[in-house]
Amino acid sequence: MAWVEPLRALHYDEAVAGPAQALASPPYDVVDDAQRAELAACSPFNAVHLDLPVDPDGGDPYAHAARLLDEWCAQGVLTRDPEAALWALRQDYTAPDGAPMRRQGFLARVRVEPYGAGRIRPHERTHPGPKEDRLRLTRATQVNLSPIFALYSDATGAARQALAAAYEAEPQATVTDEQGTVHQLFRLADPAAVTVVTEALRPAELLIADGHHRYETARVYAQEMDTAASGSDMERPEEGGHHWALMCLVALEDPGLTVFPTHRLVRGTTPEQQEALAAALRRDFDLEEVALEDVAPPPGDGLPTFGYLDSQRVPEGSRDPAGGPRGASPRAFHATLKDPGIVDRAFPDQPEAYRRLDTAVLERLLLSGPLGLTEEAIAHLDGLGYARDTDEARDLVVRGDYDLAFFLRPAPVQQVRDVAAAGATMPPKSTFFFPKIPTGLLFNPLSDPE
């Protein structure tokens, strides 16, 4: 079962800090240096100062975040709720086809548990670097700054119906992000409605959609705090704020739930690797040449399919994936697996749902095969890059920053569920759930109130 509870949130007092529009930021893992500077300039109280801290004096950034947090609380910039509540979140955004969409969920605190059936499941592997960064920040601040995004089944609609009353009130905060998504936060403290929501979630299994690093950080932090309290390596089942993590929970049945793909880029390939890749593509995939602007494959649920763009720079005089001589200009293809038996033989130890993943087929048959990218290289982005925007990925290859790119289709939500239910985890960056949950709408203190 999932232990979901209302929380005594720590949040901005807009009368002191200013409007929420200047205070919220995207999650840390999608903010680059230039955007961080822009956000930091919006307000001295913008959440990016805590979530991606930089000490202006060159000191420890995590200690700097902890000092800022203490100062903001002392100044009344941040205030803690006197009573626990759930927080309904409504997100209005535009789909890639231009259609208006609305996704609704709620923020709560969820008890940290080991991964397992009936409790909490991951859906993809993680990189090691961000986990260490988030752990050091959590140790210093003792606060969840960014919510984990998780999915649950609400087949009867009980939880969503109970949350509906919250949207009738004035929002506590409204933020419009750079993609045009309007995020509105509503407080729900009515005990009866809160009970309906939490009881509806009791039998639910939670599937982490975004924030695996943050959840794994929460588990390690909870274990560290228990060990420090007990003086041993034994976990203690006692309560405490450190046993809980901030989550935004969205029903799998929500019509606004959308998944986007993340494309793969590769650089530093040798002529031998390029030749081996071209041969593997010809052997295992049906190739259809397409215009550069059509390299992203259309959504579908048939055989694993992806787009492929080759810079054509190396090796000179060799054959391209279609078998012709390499030219001076990049060429784009749609590659569709010829026979599902190819992947069945390639990884018979994996469940059926995993073997039908575009990202899994790409990783096993091409990235870790002819291109020689090991799991460690993939984890540390050694020769591998990611891009969520099709135009950006295409331009990076055309101008020579990368040798080639693979363009993925979005994974259907049901496929994500099937892989997790089978006990498997997708390759890193297999999904991009849109829109993201902003940082700064509210925070979850991990220390118990005095």
Give the per-residue pLDDT at 234.
Answer: 43
pLDDT tens readout for residues 128-160: 656 789 999 999 999 999 999 999 999 999 999
Cα separation of 302 and 71, whole Å?
A: 55
Give yes or no for residue 176 having a pLDDT over 90: yes
Question: What single letter denotes the amino acid at residue 241?
Answer: G
Handedness of CA 23, 29, 31, 33 (dihedral sign): positive
List the beta bridge partners of residue 385.
Answer: 265
Residue 121 reports pLDDT greater than 90: no
Of these ranges, 125-134, 254-263, 427-436, 438-447, the one predicted with the greatest mean pLDDT is 438-447
Q: Please state whether 317 falls in left (phi above 0), alpha (psi between -120 and 50) or beta.
A: left
CB atoms within 10 A of CB 57: 5
Q: How far is CA 217 from CA 148, 265, 332, 437, in A?
A: 11, 28, 40, 18
Round to whole Å and give the CA distance between 320 and 323.
Answer: 5
Indicate the average pLDDT of the chain: 90
Lookup: tokens for 409:
């289709």
Asked if 145 and 137 touch (Cβ cutoff 8 Å), the reply is: yes
**pTM score of the predicted model:** 0.84
3-state secondary structure at position 241: helix
Q: What was the pLDDT predicted at 132?
A: 86
Tell me what the mean pLDDT of segment 359-373 comes to.
93
Q: What confidence category does residue 237 fall into, taking pLDDT thresholds of 50, 70 and 90?
A: very low
Among 96-105, 136-145, 369-378, top mean pLDDT goes to 136-145
Tell whether the model's pLDDT for residue 300 goes beyond 80.
no
413 — pLDDT class (breaks 50, 70, 90): confident
Dist. CA 433–CA 410, nearest whole Å? 10
| Three-class DSSP category at 404 | strand
Encoded tokens for 278:
């071209």
* Angstrom distance (rounded) from CA 72 to CA 43: 13
Residue 215: Cβ-neighbour burial (10 angstroms; 0-12, 13-18, 19+): buried
Pairing of strands 263-266, 244-251: unpaired
Angle between helices 61-75 and 128-141 (to 10 degrees): 40
- pLDDT reading at 220 higher than 90: yes
378, 363 Cβ separation under 8 angstroms = yes
